[in-house]
Structure 1
Amino acid sequence: MSYKIVVDSGCDLPVEYRTDSRFEFIPLIMQVDDHVIVDDDTFNQKEYLELVAASEDCPKTACPSPDLYMNSYRTDADDVYVVTLTSKLSGSYNSALLGKNLYHEEVGEKNIHIFDSLSASCGEGNIALKIIELADAGLPFDEVVKKVEAYRDEMLTYFVLDSLETLRKNGRLTGMKALVASTLNIKPVCHGVKGEILQKSQGIGMKKALVKMTELVAAEVKNPETKTLMISNVNCFERAAVVKDMILKKVPFKAAYIVDTAGLSSTYAADGGIIVTC
């Protein structure tokens, strides 16, 4: 059976998949002052980060419309798998669901399943790669859905950011009871819990926080030899490479990737941010 994978632009993937014909990317929109940026293949991270740094205001984002999703389901592929940002932090998942309902009403029945990633960035990418693995193995649609949801439910999402300001000002940190004092250079180690952001640990300075994060990943991951390690970076590849090496020295993974963030994740993870999923 042929298949298509639809992802919103919060999904960060290895570069070779950005032009893979099996994928369609549904863009979110970012706004910095009067600048409106579409998060598609025209996105320039360097220019965008410069805009954000020069602005006194926090960047804003907007999720895709249901129509964009509905049109992406118009395909000759038998099966359509959709992966979105966590529904706890974005309206993208609901837009994808509405698009599915519109498609069924206007076009007819089709195998369409929408995965709430309960994550973002390389978390979405990790799920997308699992879909490819299972679909290419010839599993039927319902079995792919069942196994991918089980994979997602076990997936860990951790991140350490240089700044939490964009997340905080846009109301994405409601699950965190208090923010540590930035004047003390204390960096929180955050993790995703059922799609929400919580603080797991902390370190004095970025290096110690990253070490703490790698220790948590190594301690908590189950059956790493069957899973993929993915690390997103916002303009800090060398930092991501160090994190990758630290984790792989502790536990073995089936595969490991470092990926660059597109616009949505560059907005919220901010310059210097590191996200890890497995």
Structure 2
Amino acid sequence: MSDVAITCCSTVDLSHEWLERIGVGCLPFNYYLDGVPCKDDFGRTHSPRELYERMRAGAVVKTSQVSVGGYLEHWRPLLKAGRDVLHVSLSSGISGTYSSACTAQDQLRAEFPDRTVHVVDSLCASSGYGLLVDKLAELRDGGMDVDELHGWALAHRLDVQHWFFSSDLTFFVRGGRISKAAGAVGGLLKICPVMNVPDDGTLAVKEKIRTKGRAERRVLELMEQLAQGGADYAEKVFICHSECLSDAQDLGAMVTRSFPALRGEVEYFDIGATIGCHTGPGTVALFYWGTRRL
């Protein structure tokens, strides 16, 4: 076992099995479904289908980040066991959990002066956040120590490309990310906004494109422009979706044809409850290593 413990939150939108395989600890976010507290635990509490059915039926959803106490409870045993901790947080542009993690970090540094605790603001979200965590686990297994991992994460976190589109604007409107008027017009015209995560770690609508097929092709075009190595891109690709696997697989097939040097197959994941409470169903997101963010 490495003396570096890497941890993250369930908003990495990978899977429990994936995180176990790469040896990364996970702290669950929480959400409320019609006032009932639930764990964002990779669909074990509520499957994505059940969650979105409840949302379509009018269920009130609210998300809740990891508390300072949650971080303390998770990290303290690791430090007592003589391990250093590198925690990678969901983007501070999306959630306040980074601040909570930093508060816990400061307390534990005082408690364990001979150990190292680093918290990284990923400036990433969903399976893009997961792509960064996956790479750090690989580098740890290759021999990097906690300080080297921390420096690498800070230097390369903005290399993660996030591009996504949605064919259902209902919950973007409900959450205030798209106005009601724009949502109504978008629905009539079959607008699929193409969005990304810019350098500040927020969410941004970059283009408004008619029809899902055109949105898929535009996301692919952007990968052709931005991927490291261009058409010779040879790293991993993650795609996640909110209850629209066939759309995700359509995009994945396009990526596979256009980038024959991919490292392994395109990996597909569900958008977890925390992110899904804001996107609703119908969102597809593509993640890869790029040269810059737009």
Out of 259, 262, 278, the position equivalent to 1:253 is: 262
CA distance in 2, matches of 1:165, 1:107: 48
CA distance in 1, matches of 2:108, 2:125: 25
Residue 68 of structure 1 corresponds to 70
* 2:94 aligned with 1:92: no
SS in 1 for 2:12: coil
CA distance in 2, matches of 1:67, 1:21: 25
CA distance in 2, matches of 1:149, 1:249: 32
Cα distance, 1:151 vs structure 2: 2.6
Higher helix share: 2
CA distance in 2, matches of 1:12, 1:238: 18
* 2:208 aligned with 1:202: yes
Any conservation in 1 of the 2:22–2:137 contact (CA below 8 Å)?
Answer: no
User: Structure 1, residues 94-149: CA drift from partner, whole Å, max 9, x if none?
Assistant: 11111111212334442222221212110111011111111111122222222233
User: Structure 1, residues 23-53: CA drift from partner, whole Å, max 9, x if none?
Assistant: 2221212123233222125322222122111
CA distance in 2, matches of 1:95, 1:166: 27
CA distance in 2, matches of 1:229, 1:63: 27
Cα distance, 1:213 vs structure 2: 1.0
Residue 217 of structure 2 corresponds to 211
CA distance in 1, matches of 2:103, 2:114: 14
Q: 1:8–1:190: structure 2 CA closer, same or farther, 3 Å change rule?
A: same
* 2:151 aligned with 1:150: no
Residue identity matched to 1:209: A
Q: 1:89–1:146: structure 2 CA closer, same or farther, 3 Å change rule?
A: same
Residue identity matched to 1:60: K
Q: 1:56–1:262: structure 2 CA closer, same or farther, 3 Å change rule?
A: closer
Residue 9 of structure 2 corresponds to 8
Residue 233 of structure 2 corresponds to 225
SS in 1 for 2:41: coil
Residue 249 of structure 2 corresponds to 241
Q: 1:207–1:151: structure 2 CA closer, same or farther, 3 Å change rule?
A: same
Out of 244, 263, 278, the position equivalent to 1:268 is: 278
Structure 1 residue ranges, 4+ long, deviating more than 6 angstroms after superposition: none
Any conservation in 1 of the 2:128–2:287 contact (CA below 8 Å)?
Answer: yes
Any conservation in 2 of the 1:6–1:72 contact (CA below 8 Å)?
Answer: no
Identity %: 24
CA distance in 1, matches of 2:142, 2:166: 37
Any conservation in 1 of the 2:167–2:190 contact (CA below 8 Å)?
Answer: no
Q: 1:66–1:167: structure 2 CA closer, same or farther, 3 Å change rule?
A: farther
Q: 1:77–1:231: structure 2 CA closer, same or farther, 3 Å change rule?
A: farther
- What stretches of structure 2 of length at least 5 have no aligned partner? 289-294
Residue 277 of structure 1 corresponds to 287
- What stretches of structure 1 of length at least 5 have no aligned partner? none
CA distance in 2, matches of 1:192, 1:124: 11
CA distance in 2, matches of 1:15, 1:213: 28
Q: TM-score, normalised by structure 1?
A: 0.88
Q: CA RMSD in A?
A: 2.4
User: Structure 1, residues 173-224: CA drift from partner, whole Å, max 9, x if none?
Assistant: 69xxx76632211111001102122222232122221111111122111236
User: Structure 1, residues 213-249: CA drift from partner, whole Å, max 9, x if none?
Assistant: 1111221112363532111111222211111111222
CA distance in 1, matches of 2:41, 2:92: 21
Residue identity matched to 2:263: K
